[in-house]
Amino acid sequence: MGKRLEGDGRGGVEQDLLRHDCSIGEILKQRGVSRRDFLRFCSAMTAAMALPASFAPRVAQALDQVKRPTLVWLEMQSCTGDTEALLRSANPTVAEIVLEILSVDYHETIMAAAGHQAEGALDKAIADFKGNYICVIEGSISTKDGGIYGTTGGKTHLERARQVCGGALATIAVGTCAAYGGIAAASPNPTGAVGVMEAVPGTTVINLPGCPVNADNLTATIVHYLVFGKIPALDSHGRPLFAYGKRIHDNCERRPHFDAGQYVEQWGDDGHRKGFCLYKMGCKGPATFHNCPSQRYNEKTSWPIAAGHPCAGCSEPHFWDTMSPMYKRLPNVPGFGIEQTADKIGLGLVVGAGAAFAVHGALNALRRDKEPNEDTREG
């Protein structure tokens, strides 16, 4: 049996169903994942969930005993970047554990089956595990003109989302597109793209926005469910607080330079080479909630601000529209055309008011006033 999921022959649904009876601990042992690697993974997940290190043994114990949840992964209007982020993790052992913890019964991008066989696997999974499977959705859902702009297997994405999310224990919307519509929903949004929560109201949806999603946050969300038996606490945008509960700006490694007053003034200047704060280059860290500074990407290798690029705000709703221009602090003023900043308009207002009152004052200096009489006088 191959170690990676791709080598497992995903078409064999029966074979998969048998493995639902084994606990995660047993499966990992069968697959030759060492106890040390497993515990290291549990510690990493404990940290990702923002729990104290003393919880790591509890996480390990729970994962040892718990049965693998069935998971189906649907691709909607997406670039598959979230799948890439999950599969191309630098450390193969952790990636293996991530994939082994889940029984991925359907995943369009990586499954071996195709056509009717693939659709059969999905139908079987959602029928057999109704109310007990986890659905992961990647990509936005088109709603305009009956949702015809996105179809898979002859069904619109909207239909598939209703069918699959409706019977799911919970739906995890991975990436900004699935969470809020992403780039497809950016103005003028020709396909009427929306996020899962908006497309399928009334279902349990956990949003894991980001472009791409941080695979650690996806795994930690699932581990949280396996360990505690419930979905993690969410913020008002439906995002888990353990991953989106703090602002990037408040945990940023360049924050001391912000407080000190040391800024990058232009690309490649002295401050940029010394790693100063990117605030003046339009960094949206002060407006973005994500655990990038602590969790980082690709096994904690790096993240945009560490690499010298300002935060684009990719995990916030409609960031393509609300966070632009990317390299400026403030958005342009709506209705005044591009490049009209608030300061230019404000200065125009002040100069205009000053000029108007100067003229008024001059005219007043020239006119002859009349004293009010006894009746018109107020006091």
Task: Locate all alpha helices (DSSP H) within 145-247, ordered by sequence.
Answer: 157-166, 175-180, 196-199, 215-228, 241-244
Site for other proteins in 183-242 (CB under 8 A): 235-236, 241
Site for other proteins in 245-274 (CB under 8 A): 245-247, 250, 256-263, 265, 271
The answer to whether 264 touches 277, Cβ cutoff 8 Å, is yes
Within 64-180, strands assigned E span: 70-75, 103-107, 134-138, 141-142, 151-152, 155-156, 170-174
202 or 372: CB nearest other proteins:
372
131 or 236: CB nearest other proteins:
236
Quote the CA–CA distance of 239 and 160 in Å, as a whole number.
23
68 or 254: CB nearest other proteins:
254
Quote the CA–CA distance of 161 and 135 in Å, as a whole number.
9
Tell the smallest beta-carbon distance from residue 323 to other proteins (Å).
6
The answer to whether 315 touches 297, Cβ cutoff 8 Å, is no
1 or 362: CB nearest other proteins:
362
- DSSP characters for 3-62? SSGGGG-TT-HHHHHHHTTSBHHHHHHHTT--HHHHHHHHHHHHHHTT--GGGHHHHHHH
Stretch that binds other proteins, among 12-20, 25-33, 138-146, 318-326 (CB under 8 A): 318-326
Q: By rule CB under 8 A, what count of residues binds other proteins?
A: 59
Quote the CA–CA distance of 231 and 205 in Å, as a whole number.
10
Tell the smallest beta-carbon distance from residue 75 to other proteins (Å).
28
- Nearest Cα residue to 64 out of 92, 43, 38, 34: 38
Strand 170-174 and strand 141-142: the pairing is: unpaired
Among 14, 21, 339, 371, binds other proteins (CB under 8 A): 371
Among 318, 326, 327, 340, binds other proteins (CB under 8 A): 318
311 lies in the site for other proteins, by CB under 8 A: no
Site for other proteins in 325-364 (CB under 8 A): 329-331, 333, 342-343, 345-347, 349-350, 353-354, 357, 360-361, 363-364
84 or 269: CB nearest other proteins:
269
Quote the CA–CA distance of 249 and 4 in Å, as a whole number.
37
Q: State the residues that interact with other proteins by CB under 8 A.
A: 235-236, 241, 245-247, 250, 256-263, 265, 271, 276, 279-280, 284, 286-289, 313, 316-318, 322-323, 329-331, 333, 342-343, 345-347, 349-350, 353-354, 357, 360-361, 363-364, 367-372, 376-379
